Homo-oligomer: A and B are copies of this chain.
Amino acid sequence: MRYGFVGLGQMGAPMAANLAAAQDVKVLDLSEDAIKAAVRAGASAVSSLKDFADIGVLFLCLPNGGIVEKSLFDKTNGIAKFLSPNTIVVDTSTIEYSLTLSIGDRLDALGLRFLDAPVSGMWKRAQDGTLTMMIGGETDIVEDLRPALSTMADRILHTGAVGSGQLTKLINQLLFDINVAALAEILPMAKKLGLDPENTAEVVNSGTGRSYASEYFIPQILEGTFDTGYPLQSAYKDLISGAEISARYQIPAPVLAAATSTYQQALLEGHGAKDKGAMVLVYERLLGVNCRKSSVEDTTND
């Protein structure tokens, strides 16, 4: 079996490298450097989209749904029309649920097969091949691909029909976003009431209020560091999906909705390139406080 891999970015590069260590992989990316690195790791570069005709599985790892759609279906450069019948497309990108359903339908109409397989875990776990992968699609396809998928992920969950991989990941992300939004309003409240941010941090992170969000972001907020995670503007697609699902399926989600407003306010106040911890800046500005440790000079809201 031959494989294709499109999108050799922060996550895609190590994923493709791990796959290429075990399998025959043809890669494609906008960046020549990324392609060269993948070739060094054992992959081969495609010279034209026609080279994808003999692969059995095409992996995608692209920034967002618009790019996934374009890369598959663009009138001139769309890859889909160069694939042979029954080729399996595995989209490991995190994209909107509704778009995943429509991509699945369009591939189906072209005689192609589809899995949505978004991953969680950051760059480090991609490199170690220990990502978590949530997969929506038919059971037999998932089983056939399990060896290949295992080069990238050590926790492989088959979650149901097409779209369910994205949904499962989305559920995790929405909880994460709410937990961060909670910090964003509660930590500045604590400071405004006269509490020392370091004490608060210690109590929360050793107490029942702790979360992955608090463990990851509170130390960074204390330092005034807002550039170590996925940027707010890139992750915003999750909140669009959450809002659309809540609206379309008539599922009330008031806590998520309140968190979404905080997130949007952070975007509108210019923090889109910062990580999610920067949501705290919204309430720091409003309350006229900051949550830096005493040794850190804060300049964020100046």
Q: Which residues of A contact B (CB under 8 A)?
A: 120, 132, 134, 155, 157, 159-161, 164, 167-169, 171-176, 178-179, 181-183, 185-187, 189-190, 192-196, 199-200, 202-204, 206-214, 216, 236, 239-240, 243-262, 264-265, 267-269, 283, 286-288
Contact = CB atoms under 8 A, between A and B. Distances in A.
A213 to B, nearest CB: 7
B203 A120 contact: yes
Contacts of A206: 132, 155
B171 A182 contact: no
Q: Which of A164, A212, A245 has the most CB of B within 10 A?
A: A212
| Copies of this polypeptide in the complex | 4
Contact of A257 (B174, B187, B258): B258
A212 B210 contact: yes
Given A209-B171, A210-B212, A245-B189, A261 B250 contact: no
Contact of A252 (B161, B168, B185): B185
B190 A171 contact: yes
Nearest to A207: B172
Contacts of A193: 164, 167, 245, 249
Majority secondary structure of chain A interface residues (helix, strand, loop or mixed): helix
Contacts of A185: 252-256
A175 B253 contact: no
Contacts of A176: 207-209
Contact of A160 (B195, B209, B246, B254): B195
A265 B239 contact: no
Contacts of A210: 175, 211-212
Given A132-B207, A167-B193, A189-B251, A286 B257 contact: no
